[in-house]
Amino acid sequence: MQQNQQVHYARSGRVGVITVDYPPVNAVGHGVRSGLLAALETGLADADADILLLTCAGRTFMAGADIREFGKPAAPPTLPEVIARFDASAKPIVAAIHGTALGGGLEVALACHVRVALRGAKLGLPEVKLGLLPGAGGTQRLPRLVGPAKALDMILSGDPVSAEEALALGLVDAVEDGGSALEAGLRVAGRVLAEGWSTRPVSARNDRIAGTDPALFAQRRADLARRLPHLFSPHRIVDAVEAAVTLPFAEGTARERALFLQCMESPQRAGLIHAFFAEREVAKVPGLPADTATRDVRSVGVVGAGTMGGGIAMCFANAGIPVVLLDSAAESLDRGVAAIRRNYEATARKGRLTAAQVEERMALIRPAVSYADLADADLVVEAAFESMEVKRTIFQTLDRTCKPGTILATNTSTLDVDAIAAATGRPQDVLGMHFFSPANVMRLLEVVRGAKTADGVLATVMGLARRIGKVGVAVGVCYGFVGNRILHQRGREAMALVEEGASPAQVDRVLTEFGFPLGHFSMTDLAGIDVGWRIREERRKAGDPEAQAPNWLDALAERGRYGQKTGAGVYRYEPGSRTPIPDLEVDAVIAEDRRRRGVTPRPVSDEEVRERCLYVMVNEAAKILEEGIAARPVDIDAIWLHGYGFPAHRGGLLFWADQEGLGKIVAAVERYDRDIGGPQWRPSALLQQCAAHGRPIAC
């Protein structure tokens, strides 16, 4: 049969070698599927090949089905068809795994008869993260190798296991050190022939599933009903693995396929795959050539050793980049360094860092009190108090101190990056790097492009974002940039709903039922009510005409109720607990606020809460697109997915808006514009146009 350029066949001694070569990750698309079949047929027909070896070129074994083909008709041969032919092969097949064998890639390896992994390789079935389940035999073969309980753990978490753990589990038959996957595969193929290793197909092995207690599945279903009632595919995964245990292989495989197709049709699959690609798409900034020259970033400075500065310093240390952490006050510096150590030691206690790694990372962070220590840094991130005067002074000092070419970034969340850049003689080297608290945890990084920021500076920081494990999204300059500007509108509506008669707990419940991990007010308690209160007080003292009149949150802050950090805020918290408990004292404060405003509370429906909190976000997002503050809808989707916990199974704010229906949203926005008014309800022209022409906005 004709081979193709994505899969090759060659013989090495008595071994027929099948090599997949489809960069960047050997995704199993139509070309690979066809090529695998052709190469298998060639190998089976090769009289001088006693055994076959499946290996991959490039940096990894097959990393799964080609996600870009989802939602389109599957061109034959389907992956299950290919896998069935491997399973039934008259000649034993060894799979040699390196890099990441994931999803359909691992499923092909499971249909082989022997598996060898290079040390450092990872093996997993991450389909659940895409709203799917392993649809090419994974739910039927994995339990036959590692047992149904461990198979459920792996498939429900979607997390890979190391080569060593795979060996211990029985997922692979050997782990090899050194050399290439091809070399390891040839060694093992030789041993299989010489030592007579078992080459029984996995599909025919039943010892690991025999006698499984049915209670296992009942227990997993109960756990999922409690933890993930809103997700679709995890529950189908339990059904599929149960079929592996209760049905003959062929029937179990048919059941798996039916369940897989149900997941494929689910809107959650569409949402999760949109979220998968969104995270990668935003790294490509429109109008910024991929070959834009970038600057080396070998060392970094951070100005400000507070919560944000410390977290930012950790981001770079975690990536192995030396950091000078500067604070003008020695005691603040000591406190900041101690907080960083506490963070690392807490991670070590959870087993995610060794003590040696803690020391390695601490050694990368050098405390300093003099700006002179930043002179040679390639990048400096300022994370000082949110005051324009303070920041301009810092940037003037950095401008005088740092070597030419140093990139100067501000972590400001509300101030004008162009005004900060204007304090220096190098505005082309200035931009915003807006981290989200806790900076060492949250993946979002808004990269705020100033009017004069050079392309090379933007490209450097976008590449650096990926290097430190962040999802970098390029945004323009406006109050709150993109994420907080949208959050600000949701907050305004959430506050108004409570003033009108809803309770904070009702608003939060509607948002958590939608899929947010925290409601608006629980999140406020986590971030600290005092943060917003101080900014509002600053604007009121400055006589800012835009400043908001004091509200019931300010009243709580004035009572010292800052949120979790003080054990009470919008909710109260038992010592050591983060569980929000409604508090009658807060109800009284809200009632007093209503009386002061002359408001008679009214019943507010959950539907009104949902519409006013979510549609105002969509409307603001559309305005942000109109203004060019975000270049594409996918940028806004990625920002809310990775900065604010927008439920990934809904794809992203604007992806979800299309699924919700723009006509429905626009009609509601226009109604609230009439009934409530205010800038937040002025309908976005772009949103109205998309709705009027039946055009999606997340295009």
Go through 255-265 and write b for each residue having 16 or more CB atoms within 10 A of its CB, e for each that does not.
bbbebbebbbe
Q: Which amino acid is at 352?
A: R
Tell me which of 81, 127, 242, 446 is the catalytic residue: 127
Closer residue to ligand T1G (CB): 281 or 660 = 281
Q: How far is the CB of 460 from ligand T1G (least distance, A)?
A: 19
Alpha-carbon distance of 109 to 209, in angstroms, equals 20
| Strand stretches in 423-551, DSSP E | 430-435, 444-448, 471-475
Q: Is 480 in the site for ligand T1G (CB under 6 A)?
A: no
3-state secondary structure of 119: coil
Interface with ligand T1G in residues 539-568 (CB under 6 A):
none
Q: How far is the CB of 416 from ligand T1G (least distance, A)?
A: 33
Q: Is 273 in the site for ligand T1G (CB under 6 A)?
A: no
Q: How far is the CB of 137 from ligand T1G (least distance, A)?
A: 8
Alpha-carbon distance of 15 to 553, in angstroms, equals 72
Q: Is 382 in the site for ligand T1G (CB under 6 A)?
A: no
Q: Is 280 in the site for ligand T1G (CB under 6 A)?
A: yes
Q: Is 234 in the site for ligand T1G (CB under 6 A)?
A: no
The piece of 34-42, 58-66, 358-366, 533-541 that touches ligand T1G (CB under 6 A) is 58-66
Structure tokens of 414? 């509300």
Closer residue to ligand T1G (CB): 27 or 556 = 27
In the list 36, 49, 65, 175, the residue contacting ligand T1G (rule: CB under 6 A) is: 65
Q: Is 63 in the site for ligand T1G (CB under 6 A)?
A: yes
In the list 35, 43, 104, 491, the residue contacting ligand T1G (rule: CB under 6 A) is: 104
Burial class (CB in 10 A: 0-12, 13-18, 19+), 246: middle
In the list 15, 27, 110, 622, the residue contacting ligand T1G (rule: CB under 6 A) is: 27
Q: Is the dihedral of CA 524, 529, 530, 534 positive or negative?
A: positive
Structure tokens of 212? 């499984």
Q: How far is the CB of 100 from ligand T1G (least distance, A)?
A: 5
Closer residue to ligand T1G (CB): 275 or 691 = 275
Q: Which amino acid is at 8?
A: H
Are 580 and 570 within 8 A, CB to CB?
A: yes
Burial class (CB in 10 A: 0-12, 13-18, 19+), 8: middle
Alpha-carbon distance of 273 to 656, in angstroms, equals 13
Active site residue 127: yes
Q: Is 32 in the site for ligand T1G (CB under 6 A)?
A: no
The piece of 19-27, 110-118, 399-407, 653-661 that touches ligand T1G (CB under 6 A) is 19-27
Are 163 and 123 within 8 A, CB to CB?
A: yes
Q: Is 67 in the site for ligand T1G (CB under 6 A)?
A: yes
Q: How far is the CB of 482 from ligand T1G (least distance, A)?
A: 21
Closer residue to ligand T1G (CB): 278 or 556 = 278
Q: How far is the CB of 277 from ligand T1G (least distance, A)?
A: 6
Interface with ligand T1G in residues 116-175 (CB under 6 A):
126-127, 130, 132, 134-136, 138
Sheet holding 300-303, edge to edge: 365-368, 323-326, 300-303, 379-382, 407-410, 430-435, 444-448, 471-475
Active site residue 251: no
Backbone φ and ψ for 298, nearest 5 degrees, come out as -100, -20
Tell me which of 69, 107, 607, 626 is the catalytic residue: 107
CA angle 515–518–523, rounded 5-degree value: 145
The residues of the shown chain that bind ligand T1G, judged by CB under 6 A, are: 24-25, 27, 63-68, 79, 100, 102-104, 107, 126-127, 130, 132, 134-136, 138, 280
Q: Name the residues annotated as catalytic.
A: 107, 127
